């Protein structure tokens, strides 16, 4: 069966500073590059992949993570499509703000709702529902056909764009997705059955 792998990018500079990054372009830290290499090592050791295509957002931290992983698994020449549809959610007025500062200013409960709630929009920003509305149509139109054709696919993106994708892959409800968080640089792997369009989560 085709293999479908999603990876949240390695730690970025603003991740390390506990800032809301969103659609801002920030580079990987040394730790983030190490996490990307370790993701590649893990992919090689568990089930050596042979990807047919890759997908990333247009943001630097995802692009760099993808390049490091592909170099590690010996597929540096893999064709990779980039799309804004896979970008991290836009955090609006919170972007660049330290999360503790935001809690002091707006209250911890409100900041938690902005970060985890499905329909809660930060000021001038996107909710997870908004993110879902751009990620899933792109997934169905651009990514899924490669899996249906029997190609294995690697996607490197962001915490919230991938949480939106998880709702589709694992049939997670808006209520339950609030409890889900993806760590940086940890591959999440699925078998895909082209006969049924079903995804089966594989052990790490």
What pLDDT is attached to residue 48?
Answer: 72
- With a cut of 80, say whether residue 204 has pLDDT above it: no
Q: What is the mean pLDDT of residues 162-186?
A: 95
Biggest alpha carbon–alpha carbon distance for the chain: 51
Exactly one of 88, 126, 146, 178 is catalytic; name it.
88
Residue 72 appears among annotated catalytic residues? no
Q: Tokens 């792109």 correspond to what residue?
A: 138
State the total domains in the chain.
Answer: 1
- Asked whether residue 24 is domain-assigned, the answer is yes
- Please report, for residues 36, 118, 139, the alpha-carbon distance to residue 132 in angstroms, rounded to integers and kept in the order given: 25, 9, 10
Residue 103 appears among annotated catalytic residues? no
In terms of residue numbers, what domain contains 11?
Answer: 3-194
- Asked whether residue 203 is domain-assigned, the answer is no
3-state helix, strand, coil in the chain (%, to 5): 45, 15, 35
- With a cut of 90, say whether residue 41 has pLDDT above it: yes
What pLDDT is attached to residue 68?
Answer: 98
Overall size of the chain counted in residues: 204
Burial of 137 (0-12, 13-18, 19+ CB in 10 A): exposed
- Asked whether residue 202 is domain-assigned, the answer is no
- Asked whether residue 89 is domain-assigned, the answer is yes
Average pLDDT taken over every residue of the chain: 96
**Which of 37-41, 44-48, 56-60, 182-186 comes out lowest in average pLDDT?**
44-48
What pLDDT is attached to residue 47?
Answer: 67
State the CATH number of the domain containing residue 24. Answer: 3.40.50.1240
- With a cut of 90, say whether residue 87 has pLDDT above it: yes
Measured from the Cβ of residue 108, the count of other Cβ atoms closer than 10 Å reads 12
- Asked whether residue 67 is domain-assigned, the answer is yes
- With a cut of 90, say whether residue 88 has pLDDT above it: yes
Q: What is the mean pLDDT of residues 112-116?
A: 92
What pLDDT is attached to residue 40?
Answer: 96
- Asked whether residue 63 is domain-assigned, the answer is yes
């Amino acid at each position: 069966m085709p293999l479908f792998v999603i990876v949240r990018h390695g730690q970025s500079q603003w991740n390390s500073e506990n800032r809301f990054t969103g659609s801002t372009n920030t580079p990987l830290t040394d730790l983030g590059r190490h996490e990307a290499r370790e993701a590649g090592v893990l992919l090689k050791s568990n089930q050596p992949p042979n990807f047919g295509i890759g997908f990333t957002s247009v943001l630097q931290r995802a692009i760099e993570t993808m390049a490091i992983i592909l170099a590690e698994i010996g597929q540096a020449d893999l064709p990779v499509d980039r799309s804004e549809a896979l970008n991290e959610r836009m955090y609006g007025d919170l972007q660049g703000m330290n999360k503790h500062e935001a809690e002091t200013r707006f209250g911890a409960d409100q900041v938690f709702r902005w970060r985890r709630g499905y329909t809660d929009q930060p000021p001038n920003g996107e909710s997870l529902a908004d993110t879902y509305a751009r990620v899933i149509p792109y997934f169905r139109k651009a990514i899924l056909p490669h899996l249906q054709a029997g190609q294995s696919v690697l996607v490197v993106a962001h915490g919230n764009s991938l949480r939106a994708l998880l709702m589709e892959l694992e049939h997670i409800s808006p209520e339950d997705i609030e409890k889900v968080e993806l760590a940086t640089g940890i591959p999440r792997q699925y078998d895909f059955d082209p006969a049924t369009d079903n995804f089966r989560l594989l052990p790490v």
